[in-house]
Amino acid sequence: MNQRVVVTGMGVTSPLGNDLETFWGNLRDQRSGIGPIDSLPQGALPFHSGAEAKGFTGDIEDYGPLDNQLKRAIKKNMKVMCREIEMGVAAAQKALSHSGLTVEKRDPDRCGVIFGCDYILSRPEEFTDGAIACRSESGDFPIALWPVLGLPKVTPLWLLKYLPNMPNSHIAIYNDLRGPNNSLTVREAGMNLALAEAAAFIARGTADAMLVGATGTRIHPLRTTHVFLTEKTAFERPIPTQMSCPFDQSHDGMVVGEGAGALLIESLEHAQKRGATIWGEVIGVGSSMVGPGQRQDYIHRAVSLALRSALTHAGERLPDAWHVHAHGQSTPMVDQMEASAIGEVFAQLGRSHPVTAAKSYFGNLGSGGAAVEIIASLLALKHGWLFPILNLARPIAEVTWPAAKAGDDPGSAVAHLSFTIQGQCSSSVIASFRG
């Protein structure tokens, strides 16, 4: 059995808005979501700007339309959901609602969830009371006292707030989705890998519908510090919205952000039978892993392999006109390798296509970035209007392809790219539905 797989629902929690209309409006108006960070102390890092999902407060109203029973279930469990998990659950609930796949229209045994997530760091305040209890009069912290005096002060269920499988678990339990379920912790590459796995279940006929998404953050007391110490981050600028500039000569590092996105995908037969609105069709997926110890241009190789794999998988279903949604991290070495890889694939195809990168609007959202970016491109396909790469005034030498300009034709498909600094790359091709 080889079922066609279509997208019928979308949900987003992002620095550009937490509903599809606001999100698209900000993209269309080329408004950046980058500004002063409110949730972190100032002065500890060489930057104080990032892309927060400031409209997401964690209030139950942020989860979209819910019946009273679902509202009660989510509110009851908020005490064991950190912000990353809350953003992911909210995006998934909005995608499910947007799809119109109500309880009456679905078989719970044939509907599942696959969700990507970063490994989640606990917030320091989880251990504040315990640390205070152990502190000596001189201000020292004798670690030997922690098991006796400190640990009892820690909330017993604290760990449940930070397990990376919990976004998937909460979503499946709240909605009684008993089919295939999995949690992927592959950082930025996770969303496309989750989409590939979920689409395979549907294509094989072992599921009717799957909620697929990812959530992540780079804005967190420990996470932001870790990112700064291990990766290249953008320095503060007088105009924060200019800090994320993928493929431009002024790029100096990534901008930290937070967000989540989710898609409801289902078999074409199932979608048509219930009269669903179809937003796109998954026609190709690809992935590759080329580690930094294997070759100097490892990201170039990983991107080239993953993109060519996804395009090959799409085959004859790939329309003549389409666009690439690049990872676009805004880090010199990374941008150079990605740009050259895209150029290499275009050279092999004998034709170029417009390239865009939504990270120029909201930086790196961690695992959630790819999900939000795919939704951005699906909306571009729907509206026939492609958003440009912000702050691309002087392209680097490796940009041999046409960067998208405001209002360009997005074509009839998007080839999305996402990868980690370790060299794990994933790609997906989603086309406008053509019947």
Domain boundaries, the chain: 5-121+162-431, 126-155
Q: What is the per-residue pLDDT across 319-333, written as a single tens digit (0 to 9) for each? A: 999 999 999 999 999
Residue range 186-200: mean pLDDT, rounded: 96
Res. 179: pLDDT tops 90: yes
pLDDT in tens, 251-308: 999 999 999 999 999 999 999 999 999 999 999 999 999 988 877 899 999 999 999 9
- According to DSSP, residue 187 is labeled G
Task: Give the residue among 14, 375, 8, 382 at the shortest CA–CA distance from 191.
Answer: 375
Question: What's the pTM?
Answer: 0.96
> What was the pLDDT predicted at 1?
55
Please give the DSSP secondary-structure letter assigned to residue 378.
H
Q: Which CATH number fits domain 5-121+162-431: 3.40.50.300, 3.40.47.10, 2.60.40.2470, 3.40.190.150?
A: 3.40.47.10
67 — pLDDT class (breaks 50, 70, 90): very high
Q: Mind listing the pLDDT tens digit for each residue in 106-150?
A: 999 999 999 999 989 888 888 888 889 989 888 888 899 899 898
What lies within 8 Å, CB to CB, of 279 at 6+ separation is 6, 7, 8, 9, 10, 378, 382, 433
Instruction: Please answer whether residues 425 and 288 qualify as being in contact, where contact means their C-beta atoms are separated by less than 8 angstroms.
Output: yes
How far, in Å, are 12, 154, 241, 301, 434 from residue 185 at the CA level?
19, 26, 29, 22, 33
**Is residue 63 predicted with pLDDT exceeding 80?**
yes
CB 296, CB 406: distance < 8 Å: no
* Average pLDDT of the chain to the nearest whole number: 95
The pLDDT value given to residue 122: 87
Helix axes 368-383, 83-99, angle to 10 degrees: 30
pLDDT at residue 342, rounded to an integer = 98
Contact (CB, 8 A) for 217 and 121: no
pLDDT above 70 coverage of the chain, percent: 100
